[in-house]
Amino acid sequence: MISTATVLMFIPASLLLIIAPGPDILFVITQGISSGRKAGFTTALGLAAGNSVHTLLAAFGIAVIFKNSAAAFTIFKFLGAGYLIFLSVKILLHFNDSVVIESDVQTRKKNLFLRGFIMNVVNPKVALFFMAFLPQFVDYSAGSASVQFLIFGGIFISLVVLVFGTIGLSAGLIGDFFMKRPGFSKIINIISVSVFILLALKIILMRQ
């Protein structure tokens, strides 16, 4: 159904887009540094899982709602920004607490996965990106477009896990080293709050 040549074009194009600096990479890095390697990798898995939702939206044409409905776009935009502000407030409430690396605690891993998932899903820009990017590689004369969307989405998600997972593990190694230094947890809290607030402002200022 999908030619090998198309896949060979899709993979490098996807990698270039994935490694481009953006909110998701910053999010993975801050979680990895503050909570350890497994936390960084788990956050990356959550973000990748969020992409699966956008793949389904694009495959079945639902993402077009965000493009044509100002109300839907605005609702999701403020949901995403509100979630980031909520995370910032949680950090500020425990600002003087030491950051504890809890990479072996199952509940902690579930929370980080869910955090990455929600952050990705409530970002309407990601839905619009999938709707704009994936169709460029779909051959509408070669069978079901929806199936091709799902296949390309699956490849893209696998690449996200590979790239973001590597970044999360690398950030975790840095965090494991520096978290032993006195006062470093407060620096991480300041960086995390700053990143979340900046990302929230970016989403709020996002235009349809």
How high does pLDDT run on average in the chain? Answer: 77
User: In terms of DSSP H, where are the helices of the chain?
Assistant: 4-19, 23-35, 37-59, 64-68, 70-93, 106-121, 124-133, 145-178, 184-204
In a domain, 68, yes or no: yes
Q: How many domains does the chain have?
A: 1
In a domain, 162, yes or no: yes
Closest by CA to 27, choosing from 150, 122, 93, 144, is: 122
In a domain, 11, yes or no: no
pLDDT in tens, 111-126: 889 888 988 887 767 7
Q: Is 2 left (phi over 0), alpha (psi -120 to 50) or beta?
A: beta
In a domain, 29, yes or no: yes
The answer to whether 43 and 169 are in contact (CB under 8 A) is no
In a domain, 206, yes or no: no
Looking at residue 90, its pLDDT comes to: 72
Which residue range is the domain that position 29 belongs to?
25-78+102-185
In a domain, 141, yes or no: yes
In a domain, 145, yes or no: yes
Q: What is the Cα–Cα distance from 48 to 200, expressed in whole angstroms?
A: 20
pLDDT in tens, 125-168: 777 777 777 777 888 777 787 888 889 999 999 999 999 999 98
How far from 157 is each of 36, 87, 97, 132, 207, CA to CA, in Å? Answer: 23, 25, 35, 16, 25
pLDDT in tens, 25-57: 888 888 888 778 888 899 999 999 999 988 888
Bigger pLDDT: 91 vs 170 = 170
Looking at residue 174, its pLDDT comes to: 76
Q: What is the Cα–Cα distance from 7 to 15, expressed in whole angstroms?
A: 12
In a domain, 180, yes or no: yes
